[in-house]
Structure 1
Amino acid sequence: MLVFLVLLFCLINFTLSLAFQIVLFQFYFLASFALGVVSFYCRNKGQKSRLEQASLLCGLRKDKPQSV
């Protein structure tokens, strides 16, 4: 009976630690995914603003009349 209780305790302990590791891994994966999305969005936003600045310099904006 005592051996059975010890084995049951070890099994519960192993299951809880495994579940905790899985939850921790999922949290790490979601955090890294969110960080990647945010950095990708910020990088694209920066490229867009740089593209707008370049088009302003070249006079390619449609809202600004081009000087001939």
Structure 2
Amino acid sequence: MRIEFLSGNRAVAEAALLSGLRFYAGYPITPASDLMEYLAEKLPMVGGIAVQFEDEIASINAAIGASWTGV
């Protein structure tokens, strides 16, 4: 058996991917910067997309828009 230690952000990202996340809208600020970097790398591998926005409000608006369109 292999034991792997994950940071909290990596664990959240892995759980989100396993639950079917296909769209991530974010504004990379500490402490969530590595979450976005990881998802930007992994989401295209499962047919998803990660988009960086200019601020938190734009990120929330994109997430709302994605939910309204069924993403």
Instruction: Tell me which interval the TM-score lies in, with the shorter structure as reference length.
Output: under 0.3
User: Greater relative contact order: 1 or 2 (C-alpha under 8 angstroms, separation 6 or more)?
Assistant: 2
Which is higher, the Rg of structure 1 or of structure 2?
1
In terms of fraction of residues, the more strand-rich structure is 2
